[in-house]
Amino acid sequence: MIKEGKLFINISYVIYFIFFGIVCIGTFGFYMVTQPLSLVMGLVMFFLAIAGFIVIKNAKIRCSDKVFIIILIFMMLCMIIIQVFVAWILRMEPSNDRLVILRQALDMINRDSLHTAPRWNHYFLKYTNNQMFLILETGYLYLMNLLGFGKSYLMSLSGWNILCIDSAVILTVLLSKRIWNKRIAMMLAIFCFAFTPFYTYVPFFYTDTLVLPIVAAILYLYHILLQEDRLLSVKSLVITLILGILFATGYMIKATVIILFVALAIHIFYSKHFQKAIVYICIIIVVIAAGVGTANKMVTKMGIFDTADYNTQNFPVTHWIMMGLQGVGKYQESEKIFTTSFATKEEKMDANIEVIKERVKAYGFFGMLKHLAVKSVYTWSNGEYDMDYYLEMNQQEGTWMHTFTDYNGKNHIYVHMYSNGIHICLLLSLFYSGICGFKRKDKGFNWFIKLGILGLFSFLLIWETRPRYLVQYLPLILLASMQGWLFISKKMENRRFGKFILSVMTGRRT
């Protein structure tokens, strides 16, 4: 059993290593041809990050808890000021799915009704995953309306977005302090402060950012649970119950949060005694089932959605798998039209399965491998996480900042290079974190993080994909990158590069 366990851990690291090896090679190749300066900037940033780790690790300055908290608060206040400024300048009217949800929420408030309008009801039968988001957004906007902010609903939503993003950042930084130390946590805080999507995503409030604090809280609480030795202690039971509630809430907002539960279930069997693992997993499953079941019954009883046409409107899961097999796997209107053309959910599913079989057969074995490689590079190579596209498409009015953030903006090249430079730096650190884990045979919390990332990576190979789908897992991605930088900085510390950095610090030749 022990040998099988070690084999599984090693296999998971090898797959992780292969996945990010392909992504790094593909991303490097793409930017080498299309925008070599982004690649150069990414490599420069990577070595600057390594230098930063070496400097912070060897700095003589004492960092107390009080100093750490003061610096973190100051950085977060600066971050909030910039975010509010960006939210105002780049305020945007939603479009596509996001527009339907917002209009329906405003319509329900204006009609003082908890029932969807006939013109939009079909959308929520087709895409049931957005039902909970509609309910939450309606409740929030109703509260803002009561407080007198009804006319400023775009800024109100941006305010909620800032709360979600920044609470996730704080939890992730504090977790890195628990895992490593205050110095590493400060490096992560600096990286988050410089991370473009934490600003450009502020005007675009959707499920990707809404679940960010939930994901970060799950990571934080699970790390505490792993350090709890007693099985039925009040602390461990309370944490397990809260984890179940977080998973249930996250699942109802963004179903992919459940991937993290699968990673947790696998990891806890290797981290705890079998009996403890079973108890924790069963409690979480019961809470998830009870929470989701109760919420669904309440929604049905309240009659928010007219489900009479559910069988003719609802899309089967095969629709998104079919879409994932076309081109780079992103959303395509033609795929939606195709699935919609069939009368019932069963007919839709049968038609999707036929297309899936045809596409798999047409690809062949090596063609499928190429398709998955291209799809993974498309998903993981965009340092702006699609926001250059959304900001241009949905802008309320053109401003000087849009010339930098929009895909076709005349100054977009600067933001594009900077964002992709940081992202290339991030990808390299993720790649090295896989090497680190494999060499150390790490089955601790860092392995759990990689299992979560591996789960998301695998899911997006099968499902319809977009770069913005990575945003929800940024807490995991950022923590994994920290391990990568720690690993490579330790390797380089005693080499020429590290000695040069230390000589600059001390003013002595080494």
Q: In the prediction, which pLDDT does 468 show?
A: 95
- As a whole number, mean pLDDT of residues 139-157 equals 91
> What distance lies between CA 313 and its chain's CA centroid?
29
pLDDT in tens, 170-180: 999 999 999 99
Domain tally, the chain: 1
Residues 27, 23: Cα–Cα separation, whole Å: 6
**Would you place residue 232 in the very low, low, confident or very high pLDDT band (cuts 50, 70, 90)?**
confident
Q: Which amino acid is at 53?
A: F
Question: Which pTM was predicted?
Answer: 0.94
Structural domain range at position 57: 2-91+162-305+381-506
378 pLDDT more than 90: yes
Quickly state the pLDDT bin for 6 (edges 50, 70, 90).
Answer: confident
Q: Please determine, for residue 300, whether its predicted confidence score (pLDDT) is greater than 90.
A: yes
pLDDT for 507 equals 54
* 45 in any annotated domain: yes
> What pLDDT sits at residue 34?
86
Residues 6+ apart with CB under 8 A from 477: 426, 430, 453, 470
Query: Quick check: is 299 in a domain?
Result: yes
Q: What are the two backbone dihedrals, phi and then psi, of residue 251, each rounded to the nearest 5 degrees?
A: -60, -40
* 219 neighbors 178 (Cβ within 8 angstroms): no
Q: Is 416 helix (H, G, I), strand (E, B) or coil?
A: helix
Cα–Cα nearest to 254, from 130, 412, 101, 115 = 130
**In this structure, is residue 248 part of a structural domain?**
yes
User: Is the residue at 12 inside a domain?
Assistant: yes
Token pair in block for residue 446: 């860092």
Q: Report residue 17: phi and psi, to 5°.
A: -60, -45
- What pLDDT was estimated at residue 106? 95
Q: Identify the band that residue 50 occupies on the pLDDT scale cut at 50, 70 and 90.
A: confident
Residue 106 lies in a domain: no
Whether residue 454 is predicted with pLDDT greater than 70 in this model: the reply is yes
Judge whether 116 lies within some domain: no
Q: Does 500 score more than 70 pLDDT?
A: no
Whether 292 maps to a domain, the answer reads yes
Q: Which residues 6+ apart lie within 8 Å of 7 measured at CB?
A: none
Per DSSP, 344 falls in state S
- Residue 390 falls within a domain, yes or no? yes
Q: Which residue has the tokens 């709890």?
A: 228
